């Protein structure tokens, strides 16, 4: 009836996930698999955010870290396209695909989950508070203006810009912090509100050599905007950020299906807009400028570079202009969490005063990548900062004091600099999975998220195929992956990080010998290592280590009592059962073997708990 007043719909659930981007969708999938009643609310019609709706379908990083839902997603891409090689179509990534395929895969993950309900086309209006606790949110349906209020025990902010935490007045940061605050040593003299450039990407398709797909000349078009985007059109080669010709520039984001992702940062279609504090209408108005820049760049590619056969794909986005549904936001608000993850934690995880690596829940390996070329007020030196692979601490997802809220997506508690790598697609997907695991455990145990033990979250993630430690040389196919991950998270056996091109690494060295001098230092948080006769730990020496654990922690285990000969016999019998080979008591034990024995006989992963700062207790 025209003019009728609509009653506000009210729904109840255990977990409310606000935002169906990469992180929110992964959180919802994890919750659905746990059987936790969950509602996922997304303003658009697609799932996957930057992977799909924003068209950033060339994945940055984690090729060698196929953790959790990210690994599952990539495997589905392999099945869809016919193997890994079919996705290595461009040079920026080894995993490239059509955006609509990402949406379809993620929806297929959600479809069988009976406890998960998804509401599309709903925009956040406000947060529901119950006393001082976040207890859900209210939304408006874009299609008809009706309102929906959803009450929940736990709410996850998985919005692109951290809108829910702002609506709840949860403390956050925006922009760059001065070195005096972060101690990161990146030569940022004063804090500011500058965030990274965003991009309105485009997907072009080759319509054949005879086709002319040239768009109408955009208003304000000036080819000088794109001067030196490639070597074929450059007035001064000193201005070239990337020394590539026009063909290699396009091949950067070449996708299957003879398509090209246009997300070119070098005098291309990056654009500086800080939309964070604008309302929805203001954001959409401002984004017209970013869309215009992309259309101008497309016209430049067609008109000046001669690729008239490339036009906006007609089979990707359900939009009138054939552009993505949303822009690619690289940065927004960042939570002030229980801990703040910073560059020093990434670069030197085992050396600082906080052992945050012990609380890891999401892994990444991409360099710290900042886009600031379109804003000359921004420092221009942040580019690619070399770091090893890393893991994100659980405390970065939890507000310092606000109950009822967990944060995923790019809004977790990291420094502005660290956001340059934690923002990338696989990392955000894994952070989202961890947010879902944490929320699910919180409602199942009827406690606040901050009180859920770190080890419980980590163990649940391990059971769901996720990494805790970013070890390059101990993949899930390694027979002792779980033991290496669990012992790695204790710090008893530590890896060595290595900055390496676009895919940084941390080595566990599973086949190397255990060095006694290193072990003595690293195991000190648990026991004082008895004196050893050798520089490298031998298999028989390991029994002495286990006895020391048994004495200190009063461990009642049949393996850890009796004579050395009896223990050796038991170990010899169990050795092949644990998928270990070549039992010889007098040879050096490998790091993988020692991890297995520690895990099976002492289980230090559970022997001590760990707080959000990485302290054992």
* pLDDT digits 0-9 by tens, 10-32: 999 999 999 999 999 999 999 99
- Residue 319: inside a domain: no
- Are the CB atoms for 612 and 501 separated by under 8 Å? no
Same-domain pairing of 121 and 24:
yes
The pLDDT assigned to 380 comes to 76
* Model pLDDT for residues 173-188, shown as the tens digit of each residue: 999 999 999 999 998 9
Give Cβ neighbours of residue 441 (< 8 Å, ≥ 6 apart).
Answer: 452, 456, 457, 460
Distance of CA 10 to the CA centre of its chain: 33
Q: How many CB atoms lie within 10 A of CB 564?
A: 12
Is there a domain that residue 614 lies in?
no
- Residue 16: partners with Cβ closer than 8 Å, 6 or more residues away: 38, 39, 41, 136, 137, 150, 152, 154, 155, 156
Q: Which of 106, 79, 90 has the alpha carbon at shortest distance from 261? A: 90
CATH of the domain at 54: 3.50.50.60
> 221 and 362: one domain?
no
How many other CB atoms are there within 10 angstroms of residue 380's CB atom? 11
pLDDT band, very low/low/confident/very high, at 7 (cuts 50, 70, 90): low
**Residue with token string 């004091």:** 401
CA 12 to chain centre: 29
Of 248, 283, 312, the domain-final residue: 312
At 2 the pLDDT is 35
- 88 and 65 in a common domain: yes
Q: What is the mean pLDDT of residues 523-543?
A: 92
Residue 474 falls inside a structural domain: no
* pTM assigned to the model: 0.96
As given in the structure block, the two tokens for residue 365 are 């390996």
Confidence class for position 138, pLDDT limits 50, 70, 90:
very high
Question: pLDDT digit string (tens) for 358-407?
Answer: 999 999 999 999 999 999 888 877 767 779 999 999 999 999 999 999 99
For the four alpha carbons of 480, 485, 490 and 491, in that order, the dihedral sign comes to positive
Domain co-membership, 82 together with 212: no
| Average pLDDT over the chain, rounded to an integer | 95
User: Looking at residue 502, what is its pLDDT?
Assistant: 83
Distances (CA, A) of 537 to 340, 457, 545, 599, 612: 37, 32, 10, 17, 32
Helix residue ranges, H only, 203-340: 246-251, 280-303
Whether 169 and 245 map to the same domain: the answer is no
* 70 and 207 belong to one structural domain: no
Q: What is the DSSP letter of 7?
A: P
Residue position matching structure tokens 């600082």: 352
- Say yes or no: 452 and 496 in one domain: no
Within a domain: 613: no
Whether 279 and 336 map to the same domain: the answer is: no
Q: Is residue 324 part of a domain?
A: no
Is the pLDDT reported for residue 3 higher than 70?
no
Other C-beta atoms within 10 Å of 119: how many?
A: 16
Q: What b/e sequence results for 413-422 when a residue is b if at least 16 CB atoms lie within 10 Å of its CB, and e otherwise?
A: bbbbbbbbbb
Angle subtended at Cα 325 by Cα 254 and Cα 145, rounded to the nearest 5 degrees? 170
pLDDT, tens digit (0-9, with 9 covering 90-100), for 581-592:
999 999 999 999
User: Which parts of 408-564 are beta strand (E)?
Assistant: 496-498, 505-507
C-alpha 415: how far from chain center: 15
Interatomic CA distance for residues 243 and 349, integer angstroms: 34
Q: Give how far Cα 192 sits from Cα of 91, 176, 275, 378, Å.
A: 34, 5, 15, 9
Q: pLDDT band at residue 118, thresholds of 50, 70 and 90?
A: very high
304 inside domain? yes
In a domain, 179, yes or no: yes
pLDDT tens digits, residue range 40-57?
999 999 999 999 999 999
Percent of the chain with pLDDT over 70: 99
What is the domain extent for residue 549? 481-607
pLDDT at 74 over 70: yes
Q: In which band, very low, low, confident or very high, does the pLDDT at 562 lie, cut at 50, 70 and 90?
A: confident
Tell me the helices (H) and strands (E) count for the chain, helix number first.
Answer: 17, 21
- Which residues, including other chains, have CB under 8 Å from residue 473's CB and lie 6 or more apart? 507, 508, 509, 510
* Ramachandran bin of 165, using left for φ above 0, alpha for ψ from -120 to 50, beta for the remaining angles: alpha
Please report the beta strands in 59-121, taking only residues with DSSP state E, as ranges in sequence order. 116-120
Residue that terminates a domain, selected from 410, 434, 463: 463
Q: Give me the residues paired with residue 392 across strands.
A: 362
Residues 143 and 29 reside in one and the same domain? yes
Strand partners, 379: none
Query: What is the helix (H) or strand (E) element at residue 362, kind and residue range?
Result: strand 360-364
At 446-473, the pLDDT tens digits run 999 999 999 999 999 999 999 999 999 9
More confident residue, 502 or 407: 407
Q: Are 179 and 63 members of one domain? A: yes
Domain for residue 416, yes or no? yes
pLDDT of 62 > 50? The answer is yes
**Residues 298, 365 within the same domain:** no
Q: How many structural domains does the chain have?
A: 3
| Per-residue tokens: 337 | 């969490």
Average pLDDT over residues 86-92: 96
- Which whole number is the average pLDDT over 186-196? 93
Residues 282 and 374 in one domain: no
């Amino acid at each position: 009836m025209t003019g009728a007043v609509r009653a506000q719909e009210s729904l109840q659930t255990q977990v409310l996930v606000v935002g169906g981007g990469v992180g929110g969708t992964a959180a919802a999938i994890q919750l659905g698999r746990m059987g936790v009643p969950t509602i996922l609310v997304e303003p658009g019609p697609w799932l996957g955010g930057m992977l799909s709706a924003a068209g950033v379908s060339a994945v940055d990083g984690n090729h060698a870290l196929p953790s959790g839902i990210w690994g599952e997603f990539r495997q589905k891409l392999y099945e869809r396209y016919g193997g890994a090689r079919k996705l290595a179509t461009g040079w920026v990534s080894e995993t490239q695909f059509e955006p609509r395929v990402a949406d379809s895969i993620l929806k297929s993950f959600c479809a069988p989950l009976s406890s998960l309900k998804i509401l599309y086309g709903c925009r956040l209006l406000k947060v529901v508070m119950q006393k001082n606790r976040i207890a859900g949110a209210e939304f408006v349906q874009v299609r008809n203006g009706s309102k929906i209020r959803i009450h929940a025990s736990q709410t996850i902010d998985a919005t692109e810009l951290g809108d829910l935490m702002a609506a709840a007045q949860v403390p956050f940061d925006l922009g760059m912090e001065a070195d005096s605050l972060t101690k990161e040593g990146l030569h940022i003299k004063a804090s500011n509100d500058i965030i990274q450039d965003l991009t309105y990407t485009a997907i072009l398709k080759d319509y054949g050599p005879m086709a002319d797909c040239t768009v109408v000349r955009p208003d304000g078009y000036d080819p000088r905007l794109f001067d030196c985007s490639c070597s074929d059109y450059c007035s001064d080669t000193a201005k070239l950020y990337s020394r590539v010709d026009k063909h290699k520039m396009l091949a950067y984001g070449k996708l299957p299906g003879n398509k090209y992702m246009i997300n070119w940062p070098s005098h291309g279609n990056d654009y500086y807009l800080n939309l964070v504090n604008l309302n929805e209408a203001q954001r959409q108005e401002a984004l017209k400028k970013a869309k215009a820049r992309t259309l101008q760049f497309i016209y430049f590619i067609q008109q000046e570079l001669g690729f008239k056969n490339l036009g906006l794909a007609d089979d990707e986005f359900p939009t009138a202009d054939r552009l993505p549904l949303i822009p690619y936001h690289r940065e927004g608000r960042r939570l002030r969490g229980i801990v703040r993850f910073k560059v020093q934690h990434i670069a030197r995880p085992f050396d600082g005063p906080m052992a945050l690596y012990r609380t890891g829940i999401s892994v990444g390996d991409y360099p710290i990548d900042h886009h600031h070329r379109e804003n000359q007020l921004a420092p221009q030196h942040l580019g690619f900062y070399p770091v090893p692979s890393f893991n994100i601490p659980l405390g970065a997802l939890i507000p310092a004091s606000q109950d009822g809220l967990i944060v995923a997506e790019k809004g977790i508690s990291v420094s502005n600099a660290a956001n340059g790598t934690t923002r990338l697609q696989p990392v955000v997907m894994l952070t989202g999975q961890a947010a879902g695991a944490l929320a699910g455990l919180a409602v199942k145990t009827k406690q606040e998220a901050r009180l859920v033990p770190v080890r419980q979250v980590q163990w649940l993630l391990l059971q769901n195929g996720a990494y805790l430690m970013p070890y390059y040389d101990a993949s899930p196919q390694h027979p002792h992956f779980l033991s290496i991950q669990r012992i790695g998270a204790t710090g008893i056996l530590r890896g060595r990080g290595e900055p390496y091109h676009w895919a940084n690494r941390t080595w566990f060295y599973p086949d190397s010998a255990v060095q006694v001098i290193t072990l003595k230092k690293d195991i000190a948080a648990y026991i004082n290592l008895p004196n050893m006769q050798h520089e490298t730990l031998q298999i028989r020496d390991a029994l002495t280590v286990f006895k020391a654990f048994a004495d200190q922690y009063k461990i009642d285990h049949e393996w850890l009592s009796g004579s050395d000969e009896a223990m050796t016999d038991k170990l010899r019998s169990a050795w092949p059962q644990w998928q270990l080979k070549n039992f010889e008591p007098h040879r050096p034990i490998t790091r993988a073997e020692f991890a297995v024995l520690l895990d099976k006989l002492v289980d230090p992963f559970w022997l001590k708990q760990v707080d959000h700062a990485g302290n054992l207790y």
